[in-house]
Structure 1
């Protein structure tokens, strides 16, 4: 998918504009990048950005010894890989046919099935088309729960540290309800007044926190570790992408479970979100070229994750390696939320940093799910003139939170992760169809234009 996307970006398809020739971008670049990043990443980056390296350090790839020097080097690299270009390529592919249908062909149907019409043909209006849309919605509702389940414990742990609120299931439920009200109101307000404003606030607040940690923390270590890890990732990109532990099943090596436990799971998670994020990227990209959409999504998205993992993750790693704070011990004994908040307590003005972190977690959650409810509302509405109906957007904002809350009571995070993988499996077929549909549409329209010119010349 990444190779296909890069081909589209550098080819003649990249010149295609989403809109008429004189159409200007609907949003300025900073707001566009902010909405793009916050809709696609969510609170998960606050959770895993701080703590993911610790899991890799204890269970490293390539059969390395846990806790070794080699393990720590790869631990600081894999976050950039899992959250990098491949993830954002999956998000960008659905945006191409959907944006083309909506802004070039002027179709007022904003659905995954409609974007598959060039391949599905007449079946789009029948059972197969409905099945595609239902699978997309099921995947988003299931996969979205994982993000919600990651967000609530962080916010709850932060509030417990700040004001002494009990860190239990009731507090987490109240937090989810409060966040639902925020992103429900944002979705109800629409793109310009709601989602764009929240995304802008989120972007600048995140930058402020990252700059603060980068300034008061081990700046040299964070810089050198980030640069070194990026170099290692680029040097080993294909081996990291295709490593599957084939000889371990023969008993030649001890099986680590790393590829399926991390890389494959992450890809399943991105696939679940891909149609939703792609729909949203398409909706906010009016007036931009396909090339801008392709490289803007991959570059802005990857750059954002590099900043979070490079600063939050490397700061947390520095505390562990220097003996200033037992991150791994806290993680293993008290859980990830406690280790994350504990890491922040080591900062100067730690109370201020934790407040900003908790607010960021709430807004990240809200910007992801208000865009999610906006997109689902567009999918279930037969025709979309401008924006989907307000009551429709509000309904799906509530639905996005209620179902994951039930799952959280039933089985916690592992249940939600399983649901997200089940929901993502059918989308493995849908994503290539979306890419194929874009190429077919662009070629068909080019042939029509050439034929029209020939007829006019004749």
Structure 2
């Protein structure tokens, strides 16, 4: 019956994965609207239990993934080429970096660039540190870079490497279930494989929806500052509808005409904003600060990688680190497939060090410039950022409160809103393409109607998470994603075992032709 309906609709996808994923999404949306209090209570209780009992598992998981990747790159398997033995990279290093930048960190940079450093500066997470002091500034930068540096890119790198290996070395379909081929064999095409793929599609939808929700909150805050648009659920639903319409248009145009053009525009605009802050701010102070931030990050990296808030048990990690790791890992299949596609022909060593190193370097620069500039405004300038962001709990408005301290405030704030909106759009249309691939198992783009369906679905889920709950938008997004992220950590550990098994099997000979010279 499902297959007949799929043929009648002209769909080119796996009908079971597509229909079950779509059906579960509809059930969630309807249940959230019809039983708001019950759904809130369910996710609230589940997330509270996970934070209390399993927060350590999230922390340990990402650090373990990082150690595994670095170790793998340094072994002889690091010379294995992702593709045929004569395959070479399709993109040069600079182009590859630009595409990595567009894939994973756009919304993160814009939303948290000011908000996280100033939050930790006002309320230091650890120890008896005086708020808004030099020690607080150092701790704030350490935690911010921990959250958005190597660990975030580890979450993207592991599934991306697994996708690249099993798709380009073993010729398997573009599905998460392909990664489990060493365990399941051809059963990846059966019921177990479908369950894995449906889970991946649902997780990706929710992960992208959270990103869209955060972007919506920030756009709403910017429009409020510029034009007095009320910060309300109604405004947020309208914003999601407008941006989703733009995303649908981009998806209809395809990867080259739509997504790629928007991504290129986005990169230029974001770098332009970064340069504006440097030039019109305190250039020498920022140059010195960026260098110092590298040292801060290096000295704090190992302790924070294993910190579990064991002694104070303040709950801080649940609101910050665990939320980040859960959110990031749910949309890692989407980013992972994108990175895999643009990395064909590179060796595993080039892949790992490139995906971990290049974006992390840019992240250090970005957060250092925005974070240190915020500290400078608070300590040596007119101040007011702590009050606006922390005291009034206006995380989405942090960037716009920050920009009030720079020339051409209205123009630059409008420019920032446009950047966020484009990041929002590229996240939605890129995710639509990838979700469609996860359902079809093919790199070839399916009919436009399929991609449009997923773009609209992402917007509907984001609107539901923000509007059809009895909580504030950020709280609702946090609770849902902590719950959804749990199975993905289990999958992450299985990915490591699958990669080792596959590499051991495929490269048994000491001088295997699969290993690049």
Compute the TM-score of the two structures, normalised by the length of structure 2.
Answer: 0.80
Structure 1 residue 362: deviation in Å? Answer: 1.0
Q: For residue 476 of structure 2, what is the aligned residue in structure 1?
A: 415
Structure 1 residue 385: deviation in Å? Answer: 5.2
The Cα offsets for residues 184-232 of structure 1, whole Å up to 9 and x where unpaired, read as 3333333333222222111111111101111110223323333223212
Structure 1 residue 449: deviation in Å? Answer: 10
Quote the Cα distance in structure 2 between the aligned partners of 1:342 and 1:450: 59
Q: For residue 205 of structure 1, what is the aligned residue in structure 2?
A: 269
Secondary structure of the residue aligned to 1:348 is coil
Structure 1 residue 62: deviation in Å? Answer: 2.4
* 1:6 equivalenced with 2:64 (yes/no): no
Which of residues 83, 90, 95 in structure 1 aligns to 2:160? 95
Q: For residue 434 of structure 1, what is the aligned residue in structure 2?
A: 495
Q: For residue 121 of structure 1, what is the aligned residue in structure 2?
A: 185
Structure 1 residue 448: deviation in Å? Answer: 8.0
> Which runs of structure 2 are paired with 1:246-395 in the superposition (5 Å)?
246-248=310-312, 255-331=313-389, 332-333=391-392, 335-381=394-440, 383-384=441-442, 386-395=444-453
Secondary structure of the residue aligned to 1:18 is coil
Q: For residue 79 of structure 1, what is the aligned residue in structure 2?
A: 144
Distance 1:184 1:284, change over 3 A: farther
Worse-matched range after superposition: 118-127 or 296-305: 118-127
Unaligned runs of 5+ in 2: 1-64
* 1:152 equivalenced with 2:216 (yes/no): yes
The Cα offsets for residues 371-404 of structure 1, whole Å up to 9 and x where unpaired, read as 21111100111x4153343322221111111111
* 1:401 equivalenced with 2:439 (yes/no): no
Distance 1:270 1:329, change over 3 A: same
Unaligned runs of 5+ in 1: 249-254, 454-458
Structure 1 residue 452: deviation in Å? Answer: 10
Structure 1 residue 28: deviation in Å? Answer: 4.0
8 Å contact kept, 1:223–1:310: no
Q: For residue 252 of structure 1, what is the aligned residue in structure 2?
A: none
8 Å contact kept, 1:374–1:393: yes
Worse-matched range after superposition: 218-227 or 95-104: 218-227
Quote the Cα distance in structure 2 between the aligned partners of 1:61 and 1:34: 33
8 Å contact kept, 2:141–2:297: no
8 Å contact kept, 1:143–1:417: no
Worse-matched range after superposition: 163-172 or 125-134: 163-172
Quote the Cα distance in structure 2 between the aligned partners of 1:397 and 1:157: 24
Worse-matched range after superposition: 282-291 or 161-170: 161-170
8 Å contact kept, 2:207–2:330: yes
8 Å contact kept, 1:369–1:400: yes
Quote the Cα distance in structure 2 between the aligned partners of 1:3 and 1:401: 36
Which of residues 425, 430, 455 in structure 1 aligns to 2:486? 425
Quote the Cα distance in structure 1 between the aligned partners of 2:126 and 2:224: 39
Secondary structure of the residue aligned to 1:238 is helix
8 Å contact kept, 1:140–1:423: no
8 Å contact kept, 2:201–2:439: no
8 Å contact kept, 1:18–1:100: yes
8 Å contact kept, 1:195–1:371: yes
Structure 1 residue 324: deviation in Å? Answer: 1.4
Distance 1:9 1:231, change over 3 A: same
Q: For residue 169 of structure 2, what is the aligned residue in structure 1?
A: 104
* 1:169 equivalenced with 2:233 (yes/no): yes
Q: For residue 226 of structure 1, what is the aligned residue in structure 2?
A: 290
8 Å contact kept, 2:118–2:140: yes
Task: Give RMSD over aligned pairs.
Answer: 2.3
Quote the Cα distance in structure 1 between the aligned partners of 2:252 and 2:397: 34
Quote the Cα distance in structure 2 between the aligned partners of 1:385 and 1:158: 37
Quote the Cα distance in structure 2 between the aligned partners of 1:211 and 1:309: 13
Distance 1:15 1:191, change over 3 A: farther
Structure 1 residue 123: deviation in Å? Answer: 4.1
Structure 1 residue 451: deviation in Å? Answer: 9.2
Structure 1 residue 24: deviation in Å? Answer: 4.1
8 Å contact kept, 1:63–1:256: no
Quote the Cα distance in structure 2 between the aligned partners of 1:118 and 1:183: 37
Structure 1 residue 334: deviation in Å? Answer: 6.4
8 Å contact kept, 2:113–2:399: no
Structure 1 residue 302: deviation in Å? Answer: 0.9
8 Å contact kept, 2:252–2:448: yes
8 Å contact kept, 1:344–1:350: yes
